[in-house]
Amino acid sequence: MTTLYTMPGTCSLACNIAVAWIDAPVDIHNLAYGDHKNDEYLAINPKGKVPALQFDDGSVLTELSAIMAYLGAEHGGEGYARDKQLGYREAEALSYMTSEVHAAYGPHFAKQTFADSESAQEEVQQAAYKKLGNHYGRLESNLKESGGEWYLGEQKSFADAFLYVLTRWIEQTPLSLGDYPALKDHRSRMEADDGVKTALARQDMEAAG
C-alpha cells in the first residue's frame, strides 16, 4: 500500500488531513520526532523531511504541494471538486502558503542557520515575526473576502488543511491568533471536522483550540 510518512507538529498534518477527507487508500506511518534523520528514513527521503509519499514500487514523492496535487488527482473522485478554477486557485494558495508563509518560519524553527551570534539570531527572528505578521494579515483578508468559512469560498479545499497547520504554528510565536478572528474561527471549524480529528489522532496530536 502507498504510505504517507508524517511526524507530530509538522506540515505533514495537512497531507494527513487530505488523505482523511478523500478516504484515499494510503497508510499513515507516523515517525517519532527525530526519526526523520535516521538512516532508515533517509533511505526513503534523503532530504530528511516529511511528508513523503512512498508507492508500492518503492518510488517516493516529496514536497507537500506535489503530494496534495497527486492525492487530489488520483483519489479525489466525485466527492472532491476538481473543476479547473478551484484547482488553479487551490494550487496558487498552497504555493503561497508553502513557499512564502512556511518559508518565513525558517528563522523561528532554526535561527542558528541564519546567523551566528545570539544578538544577530534575535534580530533575524524578530524580522521573521514581522514578516509572518504581514502574511497572517493577508491570510485573514483572503479568508474574509472568500466569505469567511473556507479559504477559497463555499467549498472546502486542501488549502484549508495547510491553513489549519499555520493557525497552529502561530501559537509558537509572539503573534496571537486572537488578532486574526477569521483565522481563529477557521481553526475552530477545522477542529470540529471528523477528518481533521482522524488525522490528529493518527499523528499523535491534540486539537490546538
- What is the bridge-based pairing of β-strands 60-62 and 52-54? antiparallel
Q: How many structural domains are present in the chain?
A: 2
**Confidence (pLDDT) at 203:** 97
pLDDT higher at 2 or 110: 2
Tell me, yes or no, whether 39 and 117 share the same domain: no
Statement to judge: residues 97 and 189 lie in one domain: yes
From 13, 45, 78, give the residue that closes a domain. Answer: 78
The answer to whether position 201 is within a domain reads: no
Exposed / middle / buried, residue 175 (Cβ in 10 Å: 0-12, 13-18, 19+): middle
Quote the CA–CA distance of 104 and 109 in Å, as a whole number.
10
Model-level pTM?
0.94
Domain around 90: 84-193
Same domain as 51, residue 126? no
Query: Same domain for 46 and 122?
Result: no
Question: Is position 209 within any domain?
Answer: no
Residue 206 domain flag: no
* Same domain, residue pair 180 and 91: yes
Query: Looking at the predicted structure, is the pLDDT value of residue 78 above 70?
Result: no
Does residue 18 lie within any of the structural domains? yes
Which of 2-16, 61-75, 117-131 is predicted most confidently?
Answer: 2-16
CATH number at residue 169: 1.20.1050.10
Over residues 156-205, the pLDDT tens digits come to: 999 999 999 999 999 999 999 999 999 999 999 999 999 999 999 999 99
